[in-house]
Structure 1
Amino acid sequence: MSKAKKTLKQGAWIQLILVIVIIVFVNIIVSFISYRVDFTEDKIYSVSDDTRRMLNELDDIVYFQIYLDGNLPPDYRQLKIATREMLDEFHVISDKVQYEFINPSHSEDPKERYTIHKNLEERGLVADQYREDNEEGVKFARIFPGAIVTYRAKEVPVQFLQPERFPIPLEKRIDRAINDIEFNLSYAISLLTNEEKPPIAFIEGHGELGPRETADIMRALQDSYTVERVRLNEEVNSLTERLADDSGDYVINNKYESIIIAGPDSAFSEKDKFIIDQYIMYGGKVLWLIDPVFASMDSLSYSGATMGITNNIFLDDMLFNYGVRLNTDLIMDLIALPIPMVAGSTAGQPDIEFFPWYFFPLVASDTNHPVVNNIGAVKTEFVSSLDTIMIPGIKKTFLMSTSPYSRRLNAPVYINLNILDEEPDEKQFNENYIPVAVLLEGSFKSLYRNRMPRALAGSKEIAFKEYSKPTSMIVIADGDVIRNQFHYSQGYP
């Protein structure tokens, strides 16, 4: 059996890793802090300046309960030591940081252990299933490599080990977790102590994903942000506010720290593009979730076949100007999300089996950039590829890519469920790590530089800017990556 097929068979569990990871993207866009964890030769941590400032501002106890205690395997003991060292460093900076290590499996009563484990899972921690082979046979243990952090009446879970797209040795997973210790612990403190919620907005009016389709992510984001939905309607003040000073000049401020443009299917007018462009010029951050090719599972469910066609929403020139080109293709990948299909019947009841749907690639990161350093596999739906353009002063970082077993089909693409009945020709899946998401950082040039009428360009009220303040944006070639399913008959996502 080929390596691709083996990985494919092991991939069913990855379907649990769904859209929630996109929250990390939004958090980073809104308030990007570069966390660095360094080791000296003596393995002593140095805490970043940003973390030190946050710890020095603590006004109450932050309490960590770390569930890494007891008779742990060696790799997990290393993670425990690293966590304790980092928390000791935190405590030296601020005695408001306190902690304890707990063995969640200390009880000899199986019912009590089950109750404790279930409580931890309900509070957000995920257990590792550890297998140990010895002379006495095979022994299994449930280990909770994480913590519950409390501040006043609030708590958040911290998961040290994240699921991986491909099976990798535990040692490597532990190494990654140790490198992420400062980020994970500091981010938990930030979530708990941040009193002000920065405003962010979902853009509407161009066929974007609606409130029902984004209910899950909006609910999650509301823990940290004030989330609004905004229609531009070609109104220049929809994303910014203009205040005239005593001299008649205007002070322009953005209303939102970040905007999210998720899955539009209708054209953007030049006025709406101008509003977004100037929002960026004044330092606004954008999460672009764009489908270069439109394809729908709804059509497949009715007829078994559909076409993937170009989704012309007139944003190509805008994104190209900022440094990225979305390609009008669809990616197929052998490492893909399984979908349910009827494979027969038993006693009049349908037999449901799961088959990998190659148009739903599971993508992941091959970089150590802080944005994606702690993210496992991410589900996509009819995702496309993207390329970057050389723009002076703009830094590009590919964030997510496909597996080594991928291929691209140029639009229009004929899509048929019958491909599930056939063994894939692995020779056709010969493209490696096709990029699907990119981070752009720097000072961007306005799309409308040298295109504005002189009267408008010189208008004090418009206050046109040709170059942006330093800012950032993330572009993902999939408009459905944050979409949740919705039970229309039941009325809930």
Structure 2
Amino acid sequence: MLNKFSGTLTAILLAVVFTALVLINNHLLSDMRLDLTEDQVYSLSDGSKEILKAIDEPVHLYFFYSDKASNGMTSLRNYANRVESLLEEYASASDGKIILHKIDPVPFSEAEDKANQFGLTGATVGNGGDPVYLGLAGSNAYDDEKIIAFFDPKQESFLEYDISKLVYQLTDPKKVHVSVITDLAVMGGQNPMTGRMDPPWTIFTQLQQLYDVQKLGNDIAEVPADTDVLLLVNPKNYSEQLQFSIDQYAMHGGKVLAFVDPHTDSDPMSAMTGNGATDINNLLASWGIEFNGEQVVLDAASGLDIRTQNGVERHLGYLGLQGNALDKDDVVTASLDVINAASVGALMHKKDSKTKFIPLIQTSDNSGLIDGATYGVTRDVNALASKFTSTNTAYTVAARLSGTAKSAFDKVPDGVETDDFVADTKQLNVIVVADTDLLTDRFWGSQSNFFGQTIFTPFANNGDFVTNAVENLGGSNALISVRSRGTSARPFDVVDALTVKAEKRFREKEQQLQQELQQTEQQLSQLQGQQAENGALVLSDEQQQAIEQFMQKKIAIRKELREVRHQLDMDIENLGSELKFINIAVAPLILVLLLGFIARISRKRASKEA
């Protein structure tokens, strides 16, 4: 009786302790989190935390997720939980400045109308299914609104960047001011070679639609004070005063996007002389880059096919860079498919530089260098190819520079008045591209006339690349530091290894059976064809027997082929069964035995003490 009462009392005490711990966790420990994932995917980076600290007015985030409509979509629901968890982390770390609203936009409800008002996209999954929403809308105290139309699971590595960018845009809603310094007619003008008026370059027309763009000539003395992003295109004939101003702009944490080129097809004078050298090599060197303006990169693997007098031929200087040539871990290039460029140069990281050098665009390994002057006078595609020698090196065409850098100037130049000379910085933010031709329309799009309106159709991502770079640099230093993170889904390395092993074991057998099946079907077709040619209505006994044998063989081969294909998955299924047995039976059994062993030792100690 005493043991029964003691057991009941123990159960009651355990229930009370459990309830107390739950209450303590919910009320006192709700803000405490421990992220044990490899890439810390459930934690905010330092850059995101800095953005949250800068919030002055409350920001409302509306997370629209179709919980009911997504029933049965396991992968999407798992990703939605990942997004929701990260949004809760933002709200928790914002000290009450971010107010998170979770909304399930059920069809034909006010919640769905609100999602549509924000401009969110409902994905239709399956035949006749309800639209599934998985997006985010945000608003600030000034009624500014920003949205993420749909969280694409394929872009999970940029999930934190996208959310932080939305929060930053609501915190600092002013339009980004882009200062463009160039003597090229990027905004349109008279062509000195043809005498005709050229239209503005489409890339800069698009930038004007998104940002406050100011075009300046090479004759200015200093960078405008209100510049958020400094865009240098084919920098030539820069005065020492202007170079010093650019240097100090970068040293003070200003963002620079520079396009240099060893041979500029878009510059008539450079195209004739082959001289595309830049004036800012000293600035590039201080940023950690070595650039030889007298050498052009040829790439046998990435050369584009162009139309010549002899037909369609491959031009080793006109490059279509795609796939592994584009950095998939940087937000600027991750979503791009192809960048078309011409007569590109090579950027190299200075060995003694402490600046962080990240290649964004690279050529293939089957590349080599050619003198820029020789390239300029070699018009024949085949003659150019004959001068190509591969160095088996992938050359960097575009790179991101960040971190520590020194000024290109030891002192303030004569004639310049300033009391704020900065000799070094730890906040360098620069992107350098060794080509200017990729900015011109002909390398990334085509124009057509549609009822009197000019339609520009892109066939490459050059415009997206420039827009992404300006958008990324136009954010704060904290936002720029939030780039690609890890994903919550982890690869099953053991399963992958088993898959490879199984395929290697059974693939040869499968191929052999496929060949036997194909031969059997051919022989059967020949017999049936002979019957049709002879016009025979009745088959001989030998023909009938042969056809039956081939049919039986065909059935037997198909059966064996299905069995082989089934065997491909057997090892993986067995592994799954073993894991289920371990998780469901073995692990709990070990835990029970361990607890029983500890309890037994405790009772023995208690009896000895008594």
The bucket for the TM-score relative to the shorter chain is: 0.5 to 0.7
Query: 181, 188, 198: which is aligned to 1:203?
Result: 181
Query: 162, 169, 173: which is aligned to 1:191?
Result: 169
Give the partner amino acid of 2:207: M
Query: Which residue pairs with 1:62 in the alignment?
Result: 61
Q: Does 2:279 align with 1:314? A: yes
When normalised by structure 1's length, the TM-score is: 0.59
The correspondence of residues 138-287 of structure 1 with structure 2, limited to 5 A, is 147=135, 149-151=137-139, 152=143, 154-157=145-148, 160-161=151-152, 174=154, 177-204=155-182, 206-207=183-184, 209-210=186-187, 212-213=200-201, 214-219=203-208, 221-222=210-211, 226-231=212-217, 233-235=219-221, 238-239=222-223, 254-264=225-235, 266-287=236-257
Deviates more, 1:431-440 or 1:334-343: 334-343
Aligned residue for 1:61, secondary structure, equals strand
Task: Report the Cα distance in structure 2 between the residues aligned to 1:337 and 1:192, rounded to whole angstroms.
Answer: 42
Structure ID, larger Rg: 2
**How large is the RMSD of aligned CA atoms in angstroms?**
5.1
CA contact (8 A) 1:361 1:380 kept: yes
CA contact (8 A) 2:356 2:404 kept: no
Residues 403, 313 of structure 1: CA spacing in aligned structure 2 closer, same or farther, 3 A cutoff? closer
Aligned residue for 2:162, secondary structure, equals helix
**Residue segments in structure 1 that go unaligned for 5+ positions in a row:** 1-37, 108-115, 133-138, 162-172, 241-253, 300-305, 345-352
Aligned residue for 1:291, secondary structure, equals coil
CA contact (8 A) 1:267 1:312 kept: no
Query: 429, 441, 463: which is aligned to 1:472?
Result: 429
Query: Which residue pairs with 1:390 in the alignment?
Result: 351
Give the partner amino acid of 2:135: A
Aligned residue for 1:294, secondary structure, equals coil
Shift of 1:417: 6.5
Residues 354, 144 of structure 1: CA spacing in aligned structure 2 closer, same or farther, 3 A cutoff? farther
CA contact (8 A) 2:319 2:341 kept: yes
Task: Report the Cα distance in structure 2 between the residues aligned to 1:233 and 1:320, rounded to whole angstroms.
Answer: 23
Query: 298, 301, 311: which is aligned to 1:334?
Result: 301
Task: Report the Cα distance in structure 1 between the residues aligned to 2:42 and 2:58, rounded to whole angstroms.
Answer: 24
Query: Over residues 167-220 of structure 1, what are the superposed CA-to-partner deviations in whole Å (9 max), with x where a residue is unaligned?
Result: xxxxxx74xx3332222222123224423335331113x326336213344235
Query: Over residues 385-422 of structure 1, what are the superposed CA-to-partner deviations in whole Å (9 max), with x where a residue is unaligned?
Result: 21121344423222332345555544332355679xxx
Give the partner amino acid of 2:341: E
Of Structure 1 and Structure 2, the greater helix share is in: 2
Task: Report the Cα distance in structure 1 between the residues aligned to 2:397 and 2:135, rounded to whole angstroms.
Answer: 32
Q: Does 2:330 align with 1:359? A: no
CA contact (8 A) 2:181 2:217 kept: yes
Query: 393, 396, 402: which is aligned to 1:435?
Result: 396
Task: Report the Cα distance in structure 2 between the residues aligned to 1:268 and 1:82, rounded to whole angstroms.
Answer: 50
CA contact (8 A) 2:261 2:436 kept: yes
The correspondence of residues 376-387 of structure 1 with structure 2, limited to 5 A, is 376-382=336-342, 383-387=344-348
**Residue segments in structure 2 that go unaligned for 5+ positions in a row:** 1-33, 189-199, 457-610
CA contact (8 A) 1:332 1:361 kept: no
Query: Which residue pairs with 2:537 in the alignment?
Result: none
Give the partner amino acid of 2:99: K
When normalised by structure 2's length, the TM-score is: 0.49
Residues 393, 407 of structure 1: CA spacing in aligned structure 2 closer, same or farther, 3 A cutoff? closer
CA contact (8 A) 1:289 1:478 kept: yes
Q: Does 2:104 align with 1:97? A: no
Residues 361, 143 of structure 1: CA spacing in aligned structure 2 closer, same or farther, 3 A cutoff? farther
Residues 261, 179 of structure 1: CA spacing in aligned structure 2 closer, same or farther, 3 A cutoff? same
Aligned residue for 1:293, secondary structure, equals coil
Query: Over residues 154-174 of structure 1, what are the superposed CA-to-partner deviations in whole Å (9 max), with x where a residue is unaligned?
Result: 34335644xxxxxxxxxxx74
Query: Which residue pairs with 2:535 in the alignment?
Result: none
Residues 404, 194 of structure 1: CA spacing in aligned structure 2 closer, same or farther, 3 A cutoff? same
Deviates more, 1:483-492 or 1:409-418: 483-492
Task: Report the Cα distance in structure 2 between the residues aligned to 1:182 and 1:54, rounded to whole angstroms.
Answer: 12
Aligned residue for 2:274, secondary structure, equals strand
Shift of 1:50: 4.2
Task: Report the Cα distance in structure 2 between the residues aligned to 1:428 and 1:313, rounded to whole angstroms.
Answer: 25
Query: Over residues 428-469 of structure 1, what are the superposed CA-to-partner deviations in whole Å (9 max), with x where a residue is unaligned?
Result: 77846432122222454333426x67xx38x7x244736144
CA contact (8 A) 1:262 1:480 kept: no
Task: Report the Cα distance in structure 1 between the residues aligned to 2:366 and 2:71, rounded to whole angstroms.
Answer: 40
Residues 491, 463 of structure 1: CA spacing in aligned structure 2 closer, same or farther, 3 A cutoff? farther
Task: Report the Cα distance in structure 2 between the residues aligned to 1:82 and 1:491, rounded to whole angstroms.
Answer: 44
CA contact (8 A) 1:64 1:99 kept: yes
Aligned length: 377
Give the partner amino acid of 2:137: V
CA contact (8 A) 2:218 2:238 kept: no
Query: Which residue pairs with 1:87 in the alignment?
Result: 87
Residues 215, 156 of structure 1: CA spacing in aligned structure 2 closer, same or farther, 3 A cutoff? farther
Task: Report the Cα distance in structure 1 between the residues aligned to 2:301 and 2:120, rounded to whole angstroms.
Answer: 31
Query: Which residue pairs with 1:4 in the alignment?
Result: none
Query: Which residue pairs with 2:43 in the alignment?
Result: 46
Residues 376, 82 of structure 1: CA spacing in aligned structure 2 closer, same or farther, 3 A cutoff? farther
Query: Which residue pairs with 1:166 in the alignment?
Result: none
Aligned residue for 2:231, secondary structure, equals strand
Task: Report the Cα distance in structure 2 between the residues aligned to 1:39 and 1:336, rounded to whole angstroms.
Answer: 46
Aligned residue for 2:80, secondary structure, equals helix
Task: Report the Cα distance in structure 2 between the residues aligned to 1:385 and 1:156, rounded to whole angstroms.
Answer: 38
Residues 67, 230 of structure 1: CA spacing in aligned structure 2 closer, same or farther, 3 A cutoff? farther
> What fraction of aligned residue pairs are identical, expressed as a percent?
20
Q: Does 2:264 align with 1:294? A: yes
Residues 272, 52 of structure 1: CA spacing in aligned structure 2 closer, same or farther, 3 A cutoff? closer
Task: Report the Cα distance in structure 2 between the residues aligned to 1:256 and 1:318, rounded to whole angstroms.
Answer: 19
